[in-house]
Amino acid sequence: MKLTKEQIQEIKSQQLQSNSTKRVTVPELEKILYEAVPALDHGFVRVVDYMGDDTSIVQSARVSYGKGTKQVSTDSGLIKYLMRHWHSTPFEMCEIKYHVKLPIFIARQWIRHRTANVNEYSARYSILDKEFYLPTSENLAAQSKSNRQGRGEVLEGNQAKQVLELLRKDAERTYANYETMLNERYDGSTINENNKGLARELARMNLTLNTYTQWYWKTDLLNLMNFLRLRADHHAQYEIRVYADIMLDTLKRWVPITYDAFMDYRVGGTEVSAKGKIIIQKLIKGENISMEDSGLSKREWNELMEAFDLKDKLI
């Protein structure tokens, strides 16, 4: 991970601040506030601001439900109830803002979650850093034969070396061409005094997608959990999962009660269809049932068996 001198100084200045506030603060999150947590080879995740905590969720819910919450004796019980029954609005009362440095191809995948406020580094205004993401050998895999958007077996030997060399050379070559078109090097020096530099908004278009970009990403707690439920899942692409895992740790520090409920009901739980529920009920009663008689497709049947660890137990 590489931070600019300006970023390092900014982080030091922010961490040295000592402000008095009447707003709620979370000591565990304050410990890492502004800190750049490394991600991949040159990326990072920083929490730069937040609003609310677990008590803010409870406060909002009790305003909504009024006297109806008297049956819930603790904050933990209420938050679990909200999570269990998919009550979403109270979780929207908390917000968090991240500063993230990530490869462009991950940013384009990430931005599909259209539930946040985003401000990205402008390559129309500034020159992008000369940094590229290169996978480690264990994360260099072939196309999966069963999943069109997933990875299969890890590449090995000469093939892996060749692919990594191609990725590196392409990134370096296109960045060199980028500098030539700008007539300006990464360090700010001019290449040829007699040439005019191409507009930055045009010169950027030949850069490879493993070039790093940066953005500020602000969202509420509900949409953060929706993002993490998908991107921290083992089916998610490895590179975005690295970022999601770091953000999971910030979630745990920020709202530990909500985190526990989230991990229990969203990440560790499973959804069952009406047909699936009937199948599970029959299996509990000891009745025999086959995929052909279930009314489920082969994929649905396999997912249900896998979710309840029944795949090798049925004859």
- Tell me the pairing of strands 43-51 and 141-143: unpaired
Q: Round to whole Å and give the CA distance between 263 and 259.
A: 6
Q: Round to whole Å and give the CA distance between 241 and 251.
A: 15
Q: Round to whole Å and give the CA distance between 277 and 244.
A: 31
Would you give the DSSP letter of residue 315?
Answer: -
Sign of CA dihedral 50, 55, 61, 62: negative
Structure tokens at 162: 């060749």
Q: Round to whole Å and give the CA distance between 196 and 273.
A: 63
Would you put residue 86 in left (φ > 0), alpha (ψ -120 to 50) or beta? left
Would you give the DSSP letter of residue 67?
Answer: G
Structure tokens at 243: 């970022």
Contact 207, 127 (CB under 8 A): no
DSSP 138-155: GG-EEEPSS-TTSEEEEP
Would you give the DSSP letter of residue 188?
Answer: S
Question: Which residues are tagged catalytic?
Answer: 231
Q: How far is CA 4 from CA 116, 120, 243, 286, in A?
A: 26, 17, 20, 64
End-to-end CA distance of the chain: give it in Å, rounded: 52
Q: How far is CA 180 from CA 129, 174, 239, in A?
A: 15, 10, 30
Q: What are the backbone dihedrals phi and psi of residue 139, each rounded to the nearest 5 degrees, phi first?
A: -110, 15
The residue assigned the tokens 């090798």 is: 312
